[in-house]
Structure 1
């Protein structure tokens, strides 16, 4: 049993070493790493090349391409992969020393289509923000989707799931190129809907770095690509139905779509000082004609259990400016708590 680890990189020269260090530390050595430099303008390629040259024990392919986005880079890596299982990591993430061993031991005899595990959100100093784990399970992909959408007992991130390579190839599952947000969820949900067997293990084995400069924390209207990504998933479910399709599709196109839409509104507003919500909506409408109007009836029917979001939705439907004011209040409160915590910490040190 062998594993291919596909890593797209774009202007991540600071993060190449930590990632490759975590790969060099693997207790099981039967894996290959495929690094795709997606047209970086910094020294990402050169740094990776130098590290790999110093560690020939690491089986690696270093591929340089013109900038085409993370989805195209992942597809390039998948095409170059030769392992039985494929794992996709981002260039600023890293993994536990026992990850490859865990993949091997849980797929050797069972040979599931999909294997997933727990993960941690971490800061740049590697301190943990939160762990996401779930109970061990051995089920179908459709049951795993129910655990994600209905029971909310399972969370999966791009770097916490491995796919049988032949399963992806036989079902024609690829990343949607030129989609900059939501492409990872689209890929995972499509794969789960076709998986005959999906195994989940509770161990935390990968680490998702939360960078303030990432697309998730900046003003980037393209992040609303996720709306079309979710629609493509729903269309895929219709084309390849499974038990529970209608319930999961309804949750996807209402609760999940609304929560992701408002998360992106919030991060855009917080990503640029003084950004007005009406200007943001105009920018969204210019990039995706009619989307703000299309989302209003969906938002109005939100049936999730996030009370804070429900309050923000009511404010938004009354007046987007009122919603914007709530976001400013929330941001200022978070900043105040952070400053207070810092001051109190200094006082404790002095005492």
Structure 2
């Protein structure tokens, strides 16, 4: 473990979980270290990397002895457990997560400090940038739909969150005290959709939210990203996320509008996973669809008819109401086992798999 002496309580704890990212860890940590000051601490958790990630992280930290930095090493337990360990070690009033293949965009820590000093909210919601390093012209900013200013209405906070469907913990900067209100472990171990089950629970504990229209993270897109790997486990992890979030909202007694927005967001994730499942071998795909169907239906507060009625009546926060309505109708067809829907998805996914294989082959040949 590498640890540097720290000041009294920092304002911001920046937590970076890392695993087998030797080609990205330097750029990530430098993007943080270049912005750090006396009100910040950096915690890097190496999750059992088998490459040079840990050595490179230690070398960078050792060269910055004037900063409050810690590098921890643990056996491989997954990103959720790495985040949980970072939380346990953090001393800052607020928590900033940065994934180890991403970058903290310039000016982010200063912008967060100014927002905290002015408003001291329970959570700060930030924009981010989808970053394609090899196709910079396609990189683009993703803005949230919160209105400017300090929000203190729980329904507005949650409804807008579910309408945006940006389930990334690094796009939300929570007070550490908000994390401490949840039962440990905060991030469910071994799950791909750990953000999806955790973020609704965190936001539901917040009495205030400030939207900061500053892009905080360069969200790297690359073929090895976990979100690009379709497997039976990946698909079924959705089933573990929905009931956790739904149960927490139910116990809190959230407003009916929140329940509707949760159902619509769940519908989007459900239909996305159903479509992805057609890339799996036939038996695995069928097994996945049967399993997530039952869990999805049980996790809804209402049904497709009530979702569609709310959308058509203009009672929801929405990016595109027509798109929401189409999604709900697709969910209805998927749940009903509609033959046309299944045939289209089978053909569509086979074409996508073929195109991906062609791209891989061309890349291997240097074409």
If the length of structure 2 is used for normalisation, what is the TM-score? Answer: 0.77
Does the C-alpha gap of structure 1 residues 17 and 265 become closer, same or farther in structure 2, counting only changes over 3 Å? farther
From the superposition, tell whether residues 173 and 197 of structure 1 become closer, same or farther in structure 2 (CA, over 3 Å).
Answer: farther
Alpha-carbon distance in structure 1 between the residues aligned to 2:326 and 2:27: 37
Distance in 2, matches of 1:293 and 1:27, equals 47
**CA distance in 2: counterparts of 1:332 and 1:282, whole angstroms:** 20
Superposed displacement of residue 72, structure 1: 1.1
Q: Match for 1:145 among 158, 166, 178?
A: 158
Structure-2 separation of matches of 1:294 and 1:21? 42
Mapped partners of 1:195, 1:121: distance in 2: 27
Q: Which moved more, 1:123-132 or 1:209-218?
A: 123-132
Structure 2 partner of 1:318 = 338
Alignment partner of 1:130 is 2:143? no
| Residue 83 of structure 1, CA deviation | 0.9
Deviation at 1:325, TM superposition (A): 2.8
Q: Name the SS for the 2:189 alignment partner.
A: coil
Structure 1 residues 199-250: Cα deviation after superposition (integer angstroms, max 9, x where no partner)? 11112121211222122111222222122212111111122234x2x33223
Cα RMSD over matched residues?
3.1
Give the alignment partner of residue 249 of structure 1, picking from 259, 271, 294.
Answer: 259
Partner residue of 1:207? Answer: 218
Residues 77-99 of structure 1: CA distance to partner in whole angstroms, max 9, x if unpaired? 00100111111121111111211
TM-superposed deviation, 1:118: 0.8
Any conservation in 1 of the 2:278–2:346 contact (CA below 8 Å)? no
Residue 43 of structure 1 and its aligned partner are, at CA, apart by 1.8
The DSSP-based 3-state class of the residue aligned with 2:16 is: strand
Which residue of structure 1 aligns with residue 349 of structure 2? 328
Q: Aligned partners of 2:242 and 2:265: how far apart in 1?
A: 9
Shift of 1:312: 5.2
Q: How does 1:84-99 map to 2 (within 5 A)?
A: 84-99=93-108
Deviations for 1:174-216, whole angstroms, at most 9, x for unmatched residues? 5333242221122221111111111111121212112221221
The alignment covers a number of residue pairs equal to 323
Match of 2:203 among 192, 196, 202: 192
User: Residue by residue, what CA displacement relative to the aligned partner does 1:108-166 show, whole Å, maximum 9, x if unpaired?
Assistant: 242211112111111134725331224423112622112223xx368463211111112
1:263 shift after superposition: 1.9
* Residue pairs, 1:57-206, within 5 angstroms: 57-125=66-134, 127=136, 128-134=138-144, 135-140=147-152, 142=154, 143-149=156-162, 152=163, 155=166, 157-172=168-183, 174-206=185-217
Q: What residue ranges of structure 2 are gaps of 5+ in the alignment?
A: 1-9, 312-322, 360-367
**Which of 252, 261, 278 is matched with 1:240 structurally?**
252
Q: Is the 8 A contact 2:267 2:328 kept in 1?
A: no
Quote how far apart the aligned CAs of 1:104 are: 1.0
Match for residue 226 of structure 1 among 227, 232, 238: 238
Q: Please list, as runs of the form range in 1=range in 2, the aligned pairs for 1:255-274 lying within 5 A after superposition.
A: 255-270=264-279
Change over 3 Å in CA distance of 1:64–1:332 after alignment to 2: closer
Indicate the larger mover: 50-59 or 68-77: 50-59
